[in-house]
Amino acid sequence: MLKAPPKRPYLLRAMHQWITDSGLTPHVIVDAARAGEDVPHAYVQDGKLVLNLSYTATQRLKIDNDLVEFDARFAGVIHHVRFPVNAVMGVYARETGEGMMFPDQDSSPAPPEPEPHGPRPGPGEDGGGGAKRPQLRVVK
């Protein structure tokens, strides 16, 4: 079975579109430690960077499955900004605060292992793991 791609880039794009279509301003919270060197570190506070991802604040905005990339002005100087999608901690509308926080991917539980497709043990062979017929009794 193929491993499913991460949900974060799809949810980020969907929330960005929903916020934009609602006439609001999409902002992302980025973990500066994971963001790399292509972010304006002068604007980092408490290890986080809040960036305006509206189409009016950015040029050439691209949200791929692995990378967020755009050009934007900081203090009047154009910077090329790029960071991995897994550095995005959340996305929200500036005006209302509505949005979504993303759980840390490293802390999410591993998917359950599929059960082997061997023969199932019968009743009583493994202490109750097999298929048993239900038992009915009269309760007074």
Reported as a single tens digit per residue, the pLDDT across 97-118 is: 999 999 876 434 444 555 555 5
Q: How far apart are CA 84 and CA 69, in angstroms?
A: 9
Q: Could you tell me which residues come within 8 angstroms of residue 132 by beta carbon, excluding any fewer than 6 positions away?
A: 123
Contact 14, 74 (CB under 8 A): no
CA–CA distance, 82 with 95 (Å, rounded to integer): 25
Measure the CA–CA gap between 81 and 61, rounded to whole angstroms: 10
Predicted local confidence at residue 28, as pLDDT: 97
Which pLDDT band, with edges at 50, 70 and 90, does 130 fall under? low
Q: How far is CA 5 from the centre of its chain?
A: 11
CA dist., res. 8 & res. 43, Å (int): 24
* Greater model confidence, 135 or 82: 82
pTM comes to 0.72
Chain centroid offset of residue 58 CA: 22
Distance of CA 109 to the CA centre of its chain: 14
**83 touches 66 (CB < 8 A):** no
Which token pair is 105? 């991917």
Q: Architecture of domain 8-102 in CATH?
A: Roll (2.30)
pLDDT band at 128 (very low <50, low <70, confident <90, very high): low
Q: How far apart are CA 27 and CA 44, in angstroms?
A: 14
